[in-house]
Each structure stands twice: as structure tokens, then as C-alpha cells.
Structure 1
Amino acid sequence: MPNQKLILDGSRVAQEIKNNLLERVKRLTEKGVTPCLATILVGDDPASATYVRMKGNACNRLGIDSRRISLDKDTSTEELISVTQQLNEDPGVHGILLQHPVPSQIDERAAFESIRKDKDVDGVTMLGFAQNAFGLASYPSCTPAAIIAILDYYQIPIEGKHAIVVGRSPILGKPVSLMLLNRNATVTICHSKTVNLDKIVNSGDIVVAAVGKPKFIQGNWIREGAVVLDAGYNAGNVGDVDYEACLEKAGAITPVPAGVGPVTIAMLLKHTVDSAKAGNNLNLM
């Protein structure tokens, strides 16, 4: 990477994706198909409610229908799956998003698995994960897809690079590791039990922070010129990276906010539009 710092502007990347979607949504609507994303929110967690509202507003700005289902915090797994099954069978719904985390009494994995594959636009099912591993996923998990989209937008090489992923969740750390591997990076996955984490991170050309702890990645962990992608979002608009400290060493870095987050939402909208096109067998761009 050049010595000049490159701020990876996620808002800019997201806007280009959404500009492209505007034309695609218009073409679908002219064919009598309005893409529709159904979001399910269980309980009254303020942060989750905010995320769902943001996604709904983003849909509305593009002409995508947003169908919001709010369920009581005492909803059972069986009741939630029943709602999901109704949405699976509704031809007017093209994407289903279950906002997580869900209340503790719900079997989250069972709830995710109840989403039909062709409507799993958030890439949360085990089948979707497996397809992603083989490079065949129609709708990979949205945050990993956003990370790859940012790298591609800024033409940052992936092939042959050493990528360090800090975090191993099934919808972020693991799938982004597989996506980087499929793009011919050499990938090291780290986690809370990793010994000498700072030294391992320092070996990375690309560092993905997905650990869910504010300012966890320290500036002196980053090698000179590394690309840092912060997929964390914590209270107070703080990411998983100590931004100011890492900026001193990084060649390129995503801020928080306005980094990975906006692109994650844009990828969710793209997947919904893709699903609407595929579900209606339309030969559109």
C-alpha cells in the first residue's frame, strides 16, 4: 500500500450500490414485481428496533416494499417459526430478515433454519453457509459481503495476501474467512483463546475486526501499510478497532460509523432485489 492513508468510505460504496439498485427496482416494478423485504423483530430491544427501522427506511428510499413484523418478547420458538413459514409461502415476499439477537427462550438456530433458502437474503442458514464455503452462495451473509465489496470498490488486492480475521461467529468471522479464502488469500482466524494475538495480527496484510469488543484491536498490533476493516459496532459509535491508533499504521482503514455498516445494509437490499428477479424468472440486469 502507498504511504498515503486511504479512508475506506463505506457510505460512498453503499451509495453506488444503491444507485444501481434504483434502476433495477424500476425495471422490476415495470414488470409488475415490487421487491419486498420482511423483517421480523422479537421483543423491544432499542438497538434492534433502530436497526430494523434503518433497514425499512433504506428500502423505502429505493422503492422496495418493507414489511415489518413485530412480535412480543415472550414469543416462543414455535410461534416465531410459524410466522416465518407464512412469509416463506407468501409470493409477494422476496427476502426474510430475522433481527438478531432474539430473546433467550428462542432457539435462534432453529428460527434461522426455518427461513426458506431462496428468501435467506441475510445468509443465516446452514445451507447458505455451506454454499458460501463452496463459493456458490446466492446471498452470502451481508456483513462479509460488504467487506468484500469495499475491498473490490477500492481495488485492494486480495489474492496472495495474508488476511487475519479476529472473530469466528457463523454470520461474520467464519463466512468472511471463507470468502477471502475463495479469493485466494491465506487466512488466519483468531478468537478469544488465541495466544499471542497481537503478533498474529501484526503479520496481516488485511485485518478484519469482528470480535464485538470496543477498541479491541490496538494500533501497535497493525503492521505498516495493512488494510484494516472494522466490522464492529459498539455503544457510542465505536468499532472494534482503536481507530486513531490504528490509523497511524494502516495503509487503508474503515471508519465507524460510515464504514462497513452502510454497505451491509446496501448488500441486504441488493440480495432482496436479486431474489425478486430470480423468483420471477426475469431476465433483467
Structure 2
Amino acid sequence: MTNIIDGRQLAKKLNLQTKRRVECLAKRKIQPGIALILVGDDPASLIYTRNKHRRTTKLGIHSVLKRFPATVDQATVMATIKQYNHDESIDAIIVQEPLPSHLDGQAITNAIRPDKDVDGLHPLNLGKLYGNQTGHYPIACTPRGIMTMLDHYRVNPAGMNAVIVGRSILVGKPLAALLTNADATVSVANRYTKNLPALTRQADLLVVAAGSPHLIKKSAVKPGAVVIDVGINRLPSGKLTGDVDFDNVKDIAKLITPVPGGVGQMTIATLMQQTVDLAEWRHNG
């Protein structure tokens, strides 16, 4: 019988652990803080950022939500990041993607202090991840959340043939590094990959983050595979669906994440977890 990965329940468990850590810090007169920067009026980004802001409040994390119109200039965003870099009440900074095309997203990411880079996208943090270095540094929240899911469900990547569909800096690339560091054999596919189903059928662990509804059909999945669907797509009917044809693939997968109720819940929970990590690392030295 197929096991459906319950991202909601696992996120609740992680949030409870995070709340307890926040309470422990409060006894030392320390409150973790996060600055959320939103540019423009993208509906999905607005909902996502508000959900993050509400979650921080529930967990006792100090949260600042800074909104800019889509017409904001680069200098204003950079000045805001500089302000939060020097703000002692802020441990974590996140700039919500996507950004308007006139803004230099790479320069904005690089401007965030590495020790406040809660998204784990600063070149220094990415370099440490790819180098499999020891010590404390933030890791992209969705990939870290996926690794937490795998650990909870006792999926050991060592020796597994892992295929990631999607090579974004937010998911595909950092996850490839994490799985490589965990001794998996990793292939990363993209829109130019020839005969994608032939590649995905070889995967013991298949992670799909392509942003294309029902891209992966049952025929493209190896029976007994672990399938992690990162995609969140809204159909014309208004229904949310993933990149995997869940209703059919669940019949042959060993483990599979639903959409919604899977990876998305863990991404936000991991963001909260990592915000507290940054506060602890900063104050504990």
C-alpha cells in the first residue's frame, strides 16, 4: 500500500519544536527576528509572504513585513537590505521571489549578510553547501525541508539513484548538493533533457520542481520509487495541483507527496526553523 507523505503533520511537529526553542531563547531575553521584503503585487507572492508573517507571529518570532510597489528602484531595495543587515533585532532576511524584471535579483541576494541569509542563497553559503563543509550555515528552505521529510520517513539517500527535474537555485541545485553529500547518485534534468521519461524511470528517488502541471505521468515513474512533488500549479478551474499526476502515480510509488499538503508546508516550517537557527548561532557564537 502506498504511503502518502503528510507534509502538514510533519510541519506541525517541526513548528512545535521551533516554538519550544523560541520559548527557551525568551528566557535569555532573546527573540528571533525576520525581515520579509515583498516587491510588487503578485497574488501568489502576497499570499505566501502573509502566511510566513502570520506563522512567525504564532511562533513568537519578531517579524517585519516590508512592501514595495513593483516600480521600486534597485537603490531603495538595496538600502533596505543594508538597514536590516545592521538591525540587531533581525536575524534573518528574505526577499520574496519573483522580482520585477528591472531589478537585479542576484545583486539583491548577494547584498544580504551571509549570516542573515535565511534562504541560503548567498554565494558564501552555497559554496559551503557544495563543498560539504562542516559548521553552521543556512541552506535553501525547500531542499532542507525535503531532506527532513526523507529522514522522518526513514529514506536514506545513500546508494539511491536520484533524479531531480528542475535546476533552479531555489530547489534543484541546492537539493542536488544535499543529496550528493548524502551519497546518492544524482542526475538533474531540465527543459532541454532528451527523453525525460526514460531518465525519470531510472529514479529510486524522483523530485519534480518544474512548474508544469502533471508533467510526470505514471509511465515515467519506476515502481516503488519515492516521489517528491515540489510543483504548485493553479489550474483554470482554480484547483491546485503538482507537477506529478498524483492520482495515478500514487498507485505505484513507495512514498509520494500530495499537492497541496506536502512540500509547501515544510518549506514554511523550515523557514521558521532556520530563522531560529540563525538567532541561536548569532547569540551562542
TM-score tier by shorter-chain length is over 0.9
CA distance in 1, matches of 2:278, 2:63: 14
Query: Structure 2 length as normaliser, TM-score?
Result: 0.96
Q: What is residue 220 of structure 2 aligned with on the other side?
A: 221
RMSD: 1.0
Q: Counterparts of 1:77-226 in structure 2 under 5 Å?
A: 77-136=74-133, 138-226=137-225
Find the residue that maps to 1:280 and give its secondary structure: helix
CA distance in 2, matches of 1:244, 1:148: 24
Q: What is residue 269 of structure 1 aligned with on the other side?
A: 272
Q: Which amino acid aligns with 1:30?
A: K
Cα drift, residue 170 of structure 1: 1.2
Q: Which amino acid aligns with 1:190?
A: A
Query: Structure 1 length as normaliser, TM-score?
Result: 0.96
CA distance in 2, matches of 1:16, 1:120: 24
Cα drift, residue 81 of structure 1: 0.8
Question: Which of 71, 74, 78 is matched with 2:71 structurally?
Answer: 74
Deviates most, 32-41 or 14-23? 14-23
Q: Counterparts of 1:48-67 in structure 2 under 5 Å?
A: 48-67=45-64
Q: Which amino acid aligns with 2:52?
A: K
Percent sequence identity over aligned pairs: 37
Q: What is residue 4 of structure 2 aligned with on the other side?
A: 7
Question: Which of 238, 242, 246 is matched with 1:239 structurally?
Answer: 242
CA distance in 1, matches of 2:200, 2:72: 42
Unaligned runs of 5+ in 2: none
Deviates most, 121-130 or 255-264? 121-130
Q: Residue deviations 1:173-221, cap 9 Å, x none?
A: 1110110010000001111111111011000000000111111111110
Q: Residue deviations 1:49-81, cap 9 Å, x none?
A: 100000011111111111100012111122111
Q: Which runs of 4+ in 1 moved over 4 A?
A: none
Unaligned runs of 5+ in 1: none
CA distance in 1, matches of 2:87, 2:169: 28
Cα drift, residue 135 of structure 1: 2.4
Cα drift, residue 225 of structure 1: 0.4
